[in-house]
Amino acid sequence: MTIIIGGAWPYANGSLHLGHIAALLPGDILARYYRQKGEKVLYVSGSDCNGTPISIRATQENTTTQAIANRYHDEFTQCFQELGFTYDLYTRTDAKHHHESVQTIFLQLLTNNYLYKKKIEQAYCDTDKQFLPDRFVEGTCPNCGAKARGDQCDNCSEILDPLDLIDKRCKICGNEPVIRETEHFYFTFSQFQGRLESYLAEAKLEKRWRDNALALTERYLSEGVPDRAVTRDLPNGVNVPVPGFEGKKIYVWIEAVAGYLTASIEWAQQHDVAIEDLWNEDTISYYIHGKDNIPFHTVIWPAVLMGIGAKALPTHIVSNEYLTLEKRKLSTSQNWAVWVPYILSRYDADSIRYFLTMNAPENRDTDFSWREFIYSHNGELLGAYGNFVNRTLKFLEKSFNSQVPQAEVDGAVRKKTIHLFSEAAIDIEAGHFKQALEAIFEYVRAANRYFDEQQPWLQVNEDVEAGNKTLATCVYIIANLSQLLQPFLPFSAGKIRDVLGIQEVMWHEQVELPTDIREVTPLFDRLDIGLIEEEYQKLVNDSQ
Protein backbone atom coordinates (compact mmCIF):
# COMPACT_ATOMS: atom_id res chain seq x y z
CA MET A 1 0.00 0.00 0.00
CA THR A 2 1.22 3.49 -0.90
CA ILE A 3 0.31 6.78 0.73
CA ILE A 4 0.12 9.38 -2.05
CA ILE A 5 0.26 12.96 -0.78
CA GLY A 6 -0.37 15.75 -3.25
CA GLY A 7 0.23 19.38 -2.36
CA ALA A 8 -1.57 21.98 -4.51
CA TRP A 9 0.61 23.47 -7.25
CA PRO A 10 1.29 27.17 -6.66
CA TYR A 11 1.21 29.46 -9.69
CA ALA A 12 4.75 30.53 -10.63
CA ASN A 13 3.69 34.15 -11.18
CA GLY A 14 4.65 35.67 -7.82
CA SER A 15 6.21 34.87 -4.45
CA LEU A 16 4.57 32.55 -1.93
CA HIS A 17 2.86 34.15 1.06
CA LEU A 18 1.84 32.68 4.42
CA GLY A 19 -1.63 31.82 3.12
CA HIS A 20 -0.03 29.36 0.68
CA ILE A 21 2.07 27.77 3.43
CA ALA A 22 -0.90 27.49 5.81
CA ALA A 23 -2.74 25.50 3.12
CA LEU A 24 0.24 23.33 2.09
CA LEU A 25 2.01 22.57 5.41
CA PRO A 26 -0.33 19.65 6.31
CA GLY A 27 1.15 17.72 3.37
CA ASP A 28 4.64 17.73 4.86
CA ILE A 29 3.33 16.85 8.34
CA LEU A 30 1.56 13.82 6.84
CA ALA A 31 4.56 12.76 4.73
CA ARG A 32 6.95 12.92 7.67
CA TYR A 33 4.52 11.10 9.98
CA TYR A 34 3.82 8.23 7.56
CA ARG A 35 7.52 7.79 6.82
CA GLN A 36 8.20 7.61 10.57
CA LYS A 37 5.62 4.83 10.74
CA GLY A 38 7.52 2.98 8.02
CA GLU A 39 4.84 3.37 5.34
CA LYS A 40 5.61 3.74 1.65
CA VAL A 41 5.03 7.44 0.93
CA LEU A 42 5.07 9.42 -2.32
CA TYR A 43 4.76 13.17 -1.68
CA VAL A 44 4.53 15.22 -4.89
CA SER A 45 3.83 18.72 -6.06
CA GLY A 46 5.28 21.33 -8.37
CA SER A 47 5.04 24.83 -9.76
CA ASP A 48 2.17 25.60 -12.10
CA CYS A 49 4.08 27.18 -14.98
CA ASN A 50 1.34 27.08 -17.62
CA GLY A 51 -1.78 29.14 -18.06
CA THR A 52 -2.85 32.71 -17.73
CA PRO A 53 -1.39 34.13 -14.48
CA ILE A 54 2.16 33.73 -15.79
CA SER A 55 1.27 35.28 -19.14
CA ILE A 56 -0.19 38.28 -17.28
CA ARG A 57 3.00 38.72 -15.26
CA ALA A 58 5.20 38.33 -18.35
CA THR A 59 3.14 40.97 -20.18
CA GLN A 60 3.37 43.36 -17.21
CA GLU A 61 7.16 42.95 -16.98
CA ASN A 62 7.76 42.86 -20.74
CA THR A 63 9.52 39.50 -20.52
CA THR A 64 8.84 35.84 -21.40
CA THR A 65 6.64 33.33 -19.63
CA GLN A 66 9.69 31.07 -19.37
CA ALA A 67 11.69 33.75 -17.49
CA ILE A 68 8.83 34.33 -15.02
CA ALA A 69 8.26 30.58 -14.49
CA ASN A 70 11.98 29.92 -13.92
CA ARG A 71 12.32 32.77 -11.43
CA TYR A 72 9.44 31.71 -9.23
CA HIS A 73 9.95 27.96 -9.55
CA ASP A 74 13.51 28.41 -8.24
CA GLU A 75 12.25 30.66 -5.45
CA PHE A 76 9.49 28.18 -4.48
CA THR A 77 11.98 25.30 -4.40
CA GLN A 78 14.27 27.28 -2.10
CA CYS A 79 11.41 28.34 0.23
CA PHE A 80 10.02 24.80 0.55
CA GLN A 81 13.50 23.50 1.28
CA GLU A 82 14.09 26.11 4.00
CA LEU A 83 10.67 25.33 5.52
CA GLY A 84 11.64 21.66 5.68
CA PHE A 85 9.13 20.34 3.12
CA THR A 86 10.16 16.81 2.14
CA TYR A 87 8.69 16.40 -1.35
CA ASP A 88 9.80 13.20 -3.07
CA LEU A 89 9.38 15.11 -6.32
CA TYR A 90 8.76 18.82 -6.72
CA THR A 91 8.45 19.38 -10.46
CA ARG A 92 6.82 21.87 -12.84
CA THR A 93 3.99 21.82 -15.36
CA ASP A 94 6.17 23.06 -18.22
CA ALA A 95 8.39 19.97 -17.89
CA LYS A 96 8.50 17.67 -20.96
CA HIS A 97 7.32 14.64 -18.92
CA HIS A 98 4.26 16.54 -17.68
CA HIS A 99 3.25 17.65 -21.18
CA GLU A 100 3.61 14.10 -22.53
CA SER A 101 1.63 12.49 -19.68
CA VAL A 102 -1.16 15.10 -19.90
CA GLN A 103 -1.44 14.48 -23.66
CA THR A 104 -1.67 10.73 -22.96
CA ILE A 105 -4.49 11.34 -20.45
CA PHE A 106 -6.27 13.58 -23.00
CA LEU A 107 -6.03 10.89 -25.70
CA GLN A 108 -7.28 8.24 -23.24
CA LEU A 109 -10.36 10.38 -22.52
CA LEU A 110 -10.85 10.80 -26.28
CA THR A 111 -10.52 7.05 -26.92
CA ASN A 112 -12.98 6.32 -24.10
CA ASN A 113 -15.52 8.67 -25.74
CA TYR A 114 -15.55 11.23 -22.94
CA LEU A 115 -14.48 14.13 -25.19
CA TYR A 116 -16.40 15.68 -28.08
CA LYS A 117 -15.89 18.71 -30.36
CA LYS A 118 -18.16 21.70 -30.10
CA LYS A 119 -18.24 25.12 -31.74
CA ILE A 120 -18.61 27.78 -29.06
CA GLU A 121 -18.57 31.51 -28.62
CA GLN A 122 -15.60 32.90 -26.73
CA ALA A 123 -14.44 36.33 -25.61
CA TYR A 124 -12.05 37.91 -28.11
CA CYS A 125 -10.18 41.18 -27.64
CA ASP A 126 -10.02 43.25 -30.84
CA THR A 127 -7.43 45.54 -29.23
CA ASP A 128 -5.02 42.73 -28.26
CA LYS A 129 -5.94 40.54 -31.24
CA GLN A 130 -6.44 37.31 -29.25
CA PHE A 131 -9.02 35.00 -27.75
CA LEU A 132 -9.00 35.72 -24.04
CA PRO A 133 -8.19 32.99 -21.53
CA ASP A 134 -10.86 32.81 -18.81
CA ARG A 135 -8.72 34.65 -16.26
CA PHE A 136 -8.16 37.48 -18.76
CA VAL A 137 -11.88 38.26 -18.62
CA GLU A 138 -13.10 40.15 -15.56
CA GLY A 139 -16.53 41.39 -14.57
CA THR A 140 -19.37 40.89 -12.10
CA CYS A 141 -20.38 37.43 -10.88
CA PRO A 142 -23.93 36.61 -12.07
CA ASN A 143 -24.42 34.48 -8.95
CA CYS A 144 -23.49 36.85 -6.09
CA GLY A 145 -22.70 40.22 -7.68
CA ALA A 146 -19.06 40.34 -6.54
CA LYS A 147 -16.15 41.22 -8.80
CA ALA A 148 -14.98 37.97 -10.42
CA ARG A 149 -12.62 36.39 -12.94
CA GLY A 150 -13.89 34.44 -15.90
CA ASP A 151 -13.10 31.02 -14.43
CA GLN A 152 -14.31 31.27 -10.83
CA CYS A 153 -15.77 33.69 -8.30
CA ASP A 154 -13.58 33.82 -5.19
CA ASN A 155 -16.48 35.29 -3.21
CA CYS A 156 -19.09 32.53 -3.69
CA SER A 157 -16.82 29.76 -5.18
CA GLU A 158 -19.04 29.43 -8.26
CA ILE A 159 -17.21 27.93 -11.27
CA LEU A 160 -17.94 30.34 -14.11
CA ASP A 161 -17.84 30.67 -17.85
CA PRO A 162 -16.40 34.05 -18.93
CA LEU A 163 -19.48 34.72 -21.06
CA ASP A 164 -21.66 34.53 -17.93
CA LEU A 165 -19.97 37.58 -16.41
CA ILE A 166 -21.80 40.90 -16.33
CA ASP A 167 -19.91 43.98 -17.62
CA LYS A 168 -17.09 41.94 -19.12
CA ARG A 169 -13.68 43.58 -19.52
CA CYS A 170 -10.35 42.44 -20.98
CA LYS A 171 -7.80 42.25 -18.18
CA ILE A 172 -4.97 43.33 -20.50
CA CYS A 173 -6.40 46.54 -21.93
CA GLY A 174 -9.64 47.12 -20.01
CA ASN A 175 -11.81 47.23 -23.14
CA GLU A 176 -14.98 45.24 -23.60
CA PRO A 177 -14.29 42.00 -25.50
CA VAL A 178 -16.35 40.85 -28.48
CA ILE A 179 -17.76 37.36 -28.87
CA ARG A 180 -16.36 35.14 -31.63
CA GLU A 181 -16.89 31.53 -32.65
CA THR A 182 -14.15 28.95 -32.08
CA GLU A 183 -14.05 25.13 -31.78
CA HIS A 184 -13.03 23.22 -28.67
CA PHE A 185 -13.14 19.79 -27.06
CA TYR A 186 -15.67 19.29 -24.27
CA PHE A 187 -15.50 16.76 -21.44
CA THR A 188 -18.71 14.84 -20.71
CA PHE A 189 -18.94 15.66 -17.02
CA SER A 190 -22.66 15.00 -17.11
CA GLN A 191 -21.94 11.29 -17.69
CA PHE A 192 -20.20 11.14 -14.28
CA GLN A 193 -22.99 12.76 -12.24
CA GLY A 194 -24.20 9.46 -10.72
CA ARG A 195 -20.72 8.09 -10.02
CA LEU A 196 -19.66 11.38 -8.42
CA GLU A 197 -22.75 11.33 -6.20
CA SER A 198 -21.90 7.79 -5.04
CA TYR A 199 -18.30 8.85 -4.50
CA LEU A 200 -19.44 11.82 -2.36
CA ALA A 201 -21.83 9.62 -0.36
CA GLU A 202 -18.93 7.27 0.45
CA ALA A 203 -16.72 10.21 1.47
CA LYS A 204 -19.45 11.47 3.83
CA LEU A 205 -19.82 8.02 5.35
CA GLU A 206 -16.09 7.57 5.95
CA LYS A 207 -15.56 11.17 7.17
CA ARG A 208 -12.27 11.48 5.30
CA TRP A 209 -12.96 14.94 3.85
CA ARG A 210 -13.07 18.28 5.57
CA ASP A 211 -16.59 19.65 6.13
CA ASN A 212 -16.08 22.52 3.68
CA ALA A 213 -15.22 20.02 0.92
CA LEU A 214 -18.31 17.91 1.64
CA ALA A 215 -20.64 20.94 1.71
CA LEU A 216 -19.25 22.60 -1.43
CA THR A 217 -19.15 19.35 -3.43
CA GLU A 218 -22.71 18.56 -2.41
CA ARG A 219 -23.75 22.00 -3.67
CA TYR A 220 -22.02 21.52 -7.03
CA LEU A 221 -23.53 18.08 -7.57
CA SER A 222 -27.03 19.19 -6.53
CA GLU A 223 -26.85 21.90 -9.23
CA GLY A 224 -25.87 19.25 -11.79
CA VAL A 225 -22.44 18.88 -13.37
CA PRO A 226 -22.38 20.47 -16.84
CA ASP A 227 -20.06 19.40 -19.67
CA ARG A 228 -17.09 21.77 -19.83
CA ALA A 229 -14.50 22.81 -22.38
CA VAL A 230 -11.14 21.11 -21.84
CA THR A 231 -9.23 23.04 -24.49
CA ARG A 232 -8.64 26.76 -24.82
CA ASP A 233 -7.00 29.34 -27.09
CA LEU A 234 -4.17 30.02 -24.64
CA PRO A 235 -0.74 31.60 -25.11
CA ASN A 236 1.17 28.86 -23.26
CA GLY A 237 0.49 25.37 -21.99
CA VAL A 238 0.14 21.77 -23.18
CA ASN A 239 -0.64 21.43 -26.90
CA VAL A 240 -3.79 19.55 -27.90
CA PRO A 241 -2.44 16.36 -29.57
CA VAL A 242 -5.14 16.23 -32.26
CA PRO A 243 -4.81 17.33 -35.93
CA GLY A 244 -6.74 20.51 -36.66
CA PHE A 245 -6.29 21.83 -33.12
CA GLU A 246 -2.79 23.17 -33.57
CA GLY A 247 -2.13 26.21 -31.40
CA LYS A 248 -4.85 25.29 -28.91
CA LYS A 249 -3.96 24.15 -25.39
CA ILE A 250 -5.37 21.65 -22.92
CA TYR A 251 -7.19 23.72 -20.32
CA VAL A 252 -5.33 24.33 -17.08
CA TRP A 253 -8.07 23.03 -14.81
CA ILE A 254 -7.63 19.47 -16.01
CA GLU A 255 -3.97 19.85 -16.94
CA ALA A 256 -2.78 21.19 -13.54
CA VAL A 257 -4.66 18.68 -11.34
CA ALA A 258 -3.30 15.91 -13.55
CA GLY A 259 0.10 16.94 -12.14
CA TYR A 260 -0.40 14.63 -9.16
CA LEU A 261 -0.47 11.66 -11.52
CA THR A 262 2.13 12.97 -13.99
CA ALA A 263 4.60 13.68 -11.14
CA SER A 264 3.98 10.17 -9.78
CA ILE A 265 4.63 8.70 -13.23
CA GLU A 266 7.88 10.67 -13.50
CA TRP A 267 9.02 9.57 -10.01
CA ALA A 268 8.14 5.95 -10.85
CA GLN A 269 10.21 6.09 -14.04
CA GLN A 270 13.17 7.65 -12.19
CA HIS A 271 13.06 4.85 -9.58
CA ASP A 272 12.16 1.98 -11.93
CA VAL A 273 8.80 1.37 -10.25
CA ALA A 274 5.55 0.47 -12.04
CA ILE A 275 2.99 3.28 -11.67
CA GLU A 276 0.35 0.58 -10.97
CA ASP A 277 2.27 -0.31 -7.80
CA LEU A 278 1.73 3.27 -6.57
CA TRP A 279 -1.72 4.14 -7.95
CA ASN A 280 -4.17 1.27 -7.37
CA GLU A 281 -7.36 0.42 -5.48
CA ASP A 282 -5.43 0.10 -2.18
CA THR A 283 -3.79 3.53 -2.44
CA ILE A 284 -4.56 6.04 0.30
CA SER A 285 -4.30 9.57 -1.08
CA TYR A 286 -4.31 12.95 0.63
CA TYR A 287 -4.94 16.12 -1.39
CA ILE A 288 -3.75 19.28 0.36
CA HIS A 289 -5.06 22.67 -0.77
CA GLY A 290 -7.10 25.77 0.09
CA LYS A 291 -10.88 25.89 -0.10
CA ASP A 292 -10.81 27.80 -3.41
CA ASN A 293 -9.46 24.61 -5.01
CA ILE A 294 -12.08 22.20 -3.62
CA PRO A 295 -14.14 21.56 -6.80
CA PHE A 296 -11.00 20.82 -8.82
CA HIS A 297 -10.05 18.05 -6.37
CA THR A 298 -13.48 16.62 -5.49
CA VAL A 299 -15.36 16.89 -8.80
CA ILE A 300 -13.07 17.58 -11.77
CA TRP A 301 -10.06 15.40 -10.91
CA PRO A 302 -12.12 12.36 -9.75
CA ALA A 303 -14.17 12.57 -12.98
CA VAL A 304 -10.97 12.66 -15.07
CA LEU A 305 -9.59 9.67 -13.13
CA MET A 306 -12.87 7.79 -13.66
CA GLY A 307 -12.67 8.69 -17.36
CA ILE A 308 -9.24 7.09 -17.79
CA GLY A 309 -10.13 4.09 -15.62
CA ALA A 310 -7.72 4.96 -12.80
CA LYS A 311 -8.44 3.12 -9.55
CA ALA A 312 -6.88 5.52 -7.01
CA LEU A 313 -9.53 8.18 -6.48
CA PRO A 314 -8.79 10.85 -3.83
CA THR A 315 -9.53 9.38 -0.39
CA HIS A 316 -8.70 12.31 1.93
CA ILE A 317 -9.43 15.96 1.12
CA VAL A 318 -7.52 18.34 3.40
CA SER A 319 -8.96 21.70 2.34
CA ASN A 320 -8.10 24.60 4.64
CA GLU A 321 -10.16 27.74 5.03
CA TYR A 322 -8.39 31.07 4.55
CA LEU A 323 -5.66 32.69 6.61
CA THR A 324 -6.27 36.40 7.20
CA LEU A 325 -3.56 38.89 8.08
CA GLU A 326 -3.96 41.33 10.96
CA LYS A 327 -7.75 40.81 10.71
CA ARG A 328 -7.79 41.68 7.01
CA LYS A 329 -8.08 39.45 3.95
CA LEU A 330 -4.71 38.75 2.32
CA SER A 331 -4.31 40.76 -0.87
CA THR A 332 -1.34 40.28 -3.18
CA SER A 333 -2.45 43.19 -5.41
CA GLN A 334 -2.41 45.55 -2.40
CA ASN A 335 0.77 43.91 -1.03
CA TRP A 336 -1.12 43.03 2.15
CA ALA A 337 0.79 39.80 2.69
CA VAL A 338 3.68 38.32 4.61
CA TRP A 339 5.94 36.97 1.89
CA VAL A 340 7.67 33.68 2.60
CA PRO A 341 11.20 34.64 1.47
CA TYR A 342 11.01 37.62 3.87
CA ILE A 343 9.79 35.76 6.97
CA LEU A 344 12.29 32.94 6.37
CA SER A 345 15.14 35.46 6.24
CA ARG A 346 14.28 36.69 9.75
CA TYR A 347 12.62 33.88 11.72
CA ASP A 348 13.08 30.21 12.58
CA ALA A 349 11.34 27.79 10.21
CA ASP A 350 10.01 25.80 13.18
CA SER A 351 8.41 29.00 14.56
CA ILE A 352 6.56 29.45 11.26
CA ARG A 353 5.53 25.78 11.15
CA TYR A 354 4.40 25.88 14.79
CA PHE A 355 2.28 29.01 14.41
CA LEU A 356 0.66 27.89 11.16
CA THR A 357 -0.22 24.50 12.66
CA MET A 358 -1.50 25.77 16.02
CA ASN A 359 -3.47 28.50 14.23
CA ALA A 360 -4.31 26.51 11.12
CA PRO A 361 -7.54 27.46 9.33
CA GLU A 362 -8.70 23.83 9.52
CA ASN A 363 -12.43 24.52 10.04
CA ARG A 364 -12.72 28.31 9.85
CA ASP A 365 -10.67 31.31 8.77
CA THR A 366 -7.87 32.12 11.23
CA ASP A 367 -5.65 35.16 11.57
CA PHE A 368 -1.92 35.74 11.46
CA SER A 369 -0.79 38.71 13.51
CA TRP A 370 2.79 39.66 14.30
CA ARG A 371 1.83 40.04 17.95
CA GLU A 372 0.51 36.48 18.22
CA PHE A 373 3.42 35.10 16.22
CA ILE A 374 6.10 36.71 18.44
CA TYR A 375 4.26 35.80 21.66
CA SER A 376 3.66 32.19 20.57
CA HIS A 377 7.37 31.83 19.81
CA ASN A 378 8.49 33.30 23.14
CA GLY A 379 5.77 31.75 25.28
CA GLU A 380 5.24 28.29 23.81
CA LEU A 381 8.25 27.33 21.71
CA LEU A 382 10.89 28.99 23.86
CA GLY A 383 9.08 29.23 27.20
CA ALA A 384 7.56 25.74 27.38
CA TYR A 385 9.29 23.39 24.91
CA GLY A 386 12.75 24.97 24.60
CA ASN A 387 12.86 25.73 28.31
CA PHE A 388 12.11 22.15 29.38
CA VAL A 389 14.74 20.69 27.04
CA ASN A 390 17.34 23.28 27.98
CA ARG A 391 16.86 23.22 31.76
CA THR A 392 17.06 19.41 31.87
CA LEU A 393 20.08 19.01 29.61
CA LYS A 394 21.95 21.99 31.05
CA PHE A 395 21.46 20.54 34.53
CA LEU A 396 22.96 17.23 33.39
CA GLU A 397 25.82 19.04 31.67
CA LYS A 398 26.64 21.07 34.77
CA SER A 399 25.89 18.67 37.65
CA PHE A 400 26.43 15.25 36.03
CA ASN A 401 29.30 16.00 33.67
CA SER A 402 26.90 15.37 30.71
CA GLN A 403 26.18 11.80 31.94
CA VAL A 404 22.57 10.53 31.91
CA PRO A 405 21.57 8.61 35.09
CA GLN A 406 20.65 5.05 34.08
CA ALA A 407 17.59 4.80 36.30
CA GLU A 408 14.08 3.44 35.83
CA VAL A 409 11.69 5.85 34.10
CA ASP A 410 8.51 6.91 35.93
CA GLY A 411 5.77 4.39 35.00
CA ALA A 412 2.96 6.95 34.79
CA VAL A 413 5.00 9.10 32.39
CA ARG A 414 5.75 6.06 30.19
CA LYS A 415 2.06 5.15 30.06
CA LYS A 416 1.13 8.71 29.12
CA THR A 417 3.84 8.80 26.42
CA ILE A 418 2.74 5.53 24.78
CA HIS A 419 -0.86 6.78 24.78
CA LEU A 420 0.22 10.10 23.21
CA PHE A 421 1.79 8.35 20.19
CA SER A 422 -1.54 6.56 19.56
CA GLU A 423 -3.67 9.63 20.21
CA ALA A 424 -1.58 11.94 17.98
CA ALA A 425 -1.50 9.29 15.21
CA ILE A 426 -5.31 9.16 15.06
CA ASP A 427 -5.51 12.95 14.84
CA ILE A 428 -2.81 13.26 12.17
CA GLU A 429 -4.29 10.53 9.96
CA ALA A 430 -7.71 12.21 10.23
CA GLY A 431 -6.22 15.58 9.25
CA HIS A 432 -6.55 17.15 12.73
CA PHE A 433 -3.01 18.50 12.95
CA LYS A 434 -3.76 21.30 15.39
CA GLN A 435 -5.35 18.82 17.81
CA ALA A 436 -2.33 16.52 17.61
CA LEU A 437 0.14 19.35 18.24
CA GLU A 438 -1.96 20.70 21.12
CA ALA A 439 -1.87 17.26 22.79
CA ILE A 440 1.94 17.12 22.40
CA PHE A 441 2.33 20.60 23.89
CA GLU A 442 0.10 19.66 26.82
CA TYR A 443 2.61 16.84 27.38
CA VAL A 444 5.41 19.47 27.28
CA ARG A 445 3.63 21.60 29.90
CA ALA A 446 3.10 18.51 32.09
CA ALA A 447 6.83 17.77 31.76
CA ASN A 448 7.68 21.25 33.06
CA ARG A 449 5.31 20.72 36.00
CA TYR A 450 6.92 17.34 36.71
CA PHE A 451 10.40 18.91 36.77
CA ASP A 452 9.21 21.68 39.13
CA GLU A 453 7.40 19.28 41.48
CA GLN A 454 10.25 16.75 41.69
CA GLN A 455 12.87 19.47 42.25
CA PRO A 456 15.85 17.44 40.99
CA TRP A 457 18.25 20.20 42.08
CA LEU A 458 17.35 19.25 45.68
CA GLN A 459 16.86 15.53 45.06
CA VAL A 460 20.43 15.01 43.85
CA ASN A 461 21.64 15.97 47.33
CA GLU A 462 18.79 14.68 49.53
CA ASP A 463 17.60 11.53 47.68
CA VAL A 464 20.04 10.47 44.96
CA GLU A 465 17.87 7.58 43.72
CA ALA A 466 14.81 9.81 43.34
CA GLY A 467 16.93 12.48 41.60
CA ASN A 468 18.31 9.92 39.16
CA LYS A 469 14.79 8.70 38.37
CA THR A 470 13.55 12.26 37.79
CA LEU A 471 16.38 13.11 35.42
CA ALA A 472 16.16 9.79 33.55
CA THR A 473 12.41 10.44 33.15
CA CYS A 474 13.03 13.97 31.86
CA VAL A 475 15.59 12.70 29.31
CA TYR A 476 13.06 10.02 28.31
CA ILE A 477 10.43 12.74 27.71
CA ILE A 478 12.89 14.79 25.63
CA ALA A 479 13.89 11.74 23.57
CA ASN A 480 10.23 11.01 22.84
CA LEU A 481 9.53 14.65 22.00
CA SER A 482 12.23 14.37 19.33
CA GLN A 483 10.05 11.70 17.69
CA LEU A 484 6.59 13.16 18.39
CA LEU A 485 7.54 16.62 17.13
CA GLN A 486 9.45 15.43 14.05
CA PRO A 487 6.46 15.85 11.69
CA PHE A 488 5.70 19.33 13.05
CA LEU A 489 9.01 20.90 14.14
CA PRO A 490 11.68 18.89 12.32
CA PHE A 491 14.58 21.27 12.85
CA SER A 492 14.41 21.43 16.65
CA ALA A 493 13.50 17.72 16.85
CA GLY A 494 16.65 16.99 14.83
CA LYS A 495 18.76 19.15 17.17
CA ILE A 496 17.52 17.13 20.16
CA ARG A 497 18.38 13.82 18.50
CA ASP A 498 21.86 15.17 17.74
CA VAL A 499 22.42 16.12 21.41
CA LEU A 500 21.12 12.74 22.60
CA GLY A 501 22.89 10.75 19.88
CA ILE A 502 19.61 9.23 18.60
CA GLN A 503 19.94 7.93 15.03
CA GLU A 504 16.57 6.41 14.30
CA VAL A 505 13.43 8.40 13.48
CA MET A 506 10.33 6.39 14.39
CA TRP A 507 6.71 6.74 15.43
CA HIS A 508 6.70 4.81 18.69
CA GLU A 509 8.09 5.07 22.19
CA GLN A 510 11.82 5.81 22.39
CA VAL A 511 12.82 3.41 25.17
CA GLU A 512 16.58 3.37 24.81
CA LEU A 513 18.21 6.38 26.44
CA PRO A 514 21.71 7.74 25.86
CA THR A 515 24.42 7.29 28.49
CA ASP A 516 25.72 10.80 27.86
CA ILE A 517 24.79 13.96 26.01
CA ARG A 518 26.66 16.21 23.60
CA GLU A 519 27.09 19.96 23.91
CA VAL A 520 23.80 21.68 24.75
CA THR A 521 22.73 24.85 22.92
CA PRO A 522 19.29 26.54 23.20
CA LEU A 523 16.71 25.32 20.69
CA PHE A 524 15.32 28.85 20.27
CA ASP A 525 16.35 32.45 20.92
CA ARG A 526 14.00 34.96 22.53
CA LEU A 527 12.43 37.45 20.11
CA ASP A 528 12.37 41.11 21.07
CA ILE A 529 8.73 42.20 21.47
CA GLY A 530 9.68 45.46 19.77
CA LEU A 531 9.54 43.40 16.57
CA ILE A 532 5.73 43.37 16.80
CA GLU A 533 5.38 47.07 16.07
CA GLU A 534 8.32 47.06 13.66
CA GLU A 535 6.85 44.29 11.51
CA TYR A 536 3.32 45.72 11.62
CA GLN A 537 4.53 49.14 10.50
CA LYS A 538 6.53 47.56 7.67
CA LEU A 539 3.40 45.71 6.54
CA VAL A 540 1.33 48.91 6.56
CA ASN A 541 4.01 50.95 4.78
CA ASP A 542 4.60 48.28 2.12
CA SER A 543 0.89 48.10 1.32
CA GLN A 544 0.48 51.85 0.74
Inter-residue contact 325 to 318 (CB < 8 Å):
no
Phi/psi for 245 (5° steps) reads -115, 25
* Tens of pLDDT, residue by residue, the chain (544 residues): 899 999 999 999 999 999 999 999 999 999 999 999 999 999 999 999 987 778 878 888 999 999 999 999 999 999 999 999 999 999 999 999 999 999 999 999 999 999 999 998 889 999 988 888 888 899 999 999 999 988 888 888 888 889 999 999 998 889 999 999 999 999 999 999 999 999 999 999 999 999 999 999 999 999 999 999 999 888 789 999 999 998 899 998 889 999 999 999 999 999 999 999 999 999 999 999 999 999 999 999 999 999 999 989 999 999 999 999 999 999 988 999 999 999 999 999 999 999 999 999 999 999 999 999 999 999 999 999 999 999 999 999 999 999 999 999 999 999 999 999 999 999 999 999 999 999 999 999 999 999 999 999 999 999 999 999 999 999 999 999 999 999 999 999 999 999 999 999 999 999 999 999 999 999 999 999 999 999 999 999 999 8
- Quick one: which of 3, 9, 13 has its CA closest to 36? 3
pLDDT of residue 479: 98
504 Cβ neighbours under 8 A, 6+ residues apart: none
- Quick one: which of 9, 18, 13 has its CA closest to 47? 9
Provide the β-strand partners of residue 4: 42, 285
Q: Work out the widest C-alpha separation in the chain, in whole angstroms.
A: 91
Q: What share of the chain is helix, strand, coil (3-state, %, to 5)?
A: 50, 15, 30
- Quick one: which of 187, 215, 191 has its CA closest to 203? 215
Dihedral of CA atoms 106, 47, 208, 1 in degrees, nearest 10, equals 70
pLDDT of residue 161: 87
- Quick one: which of 400, 371, 378, 372 has its CA closest to 523? 378
Inter-residue contact 368 to 325 (CB < 8 Å):
yes
Query: How far apart, in Å, are the Cα atoms of 44 and each of 91, 247, 258?
Result: 8, 29, 12
SS3 label, residue 160: coil
Inter-residue contact 424 to 436 (CB < 8 Å):
yes
CA distance 524 to 386: 6
- Quick one: which of 261, 242, 249, 247 has its CA closest to 304? 261
- Give alpha helix (H) positions in 324-386: 340-346, 349-358, 370-376
- Please report the beta strands in 241-373, taking only residues with DSSP state E, as ranges in sequence order: 249-250, 284-290, 316-320, 323-325, 328-329, 366-368
- Quick one: which of 72, 2, 3, 1 has its CA closest to 428? 3
- Show the CA angle centred on residue 44, arms to residues 346 and 282, nearest 5°: 140
- Quick one: which of 39, 198, 202, 233 has its CA closest to 121? 233
CA distance 205 to 167: 43
CA distance 478 to 474: 6
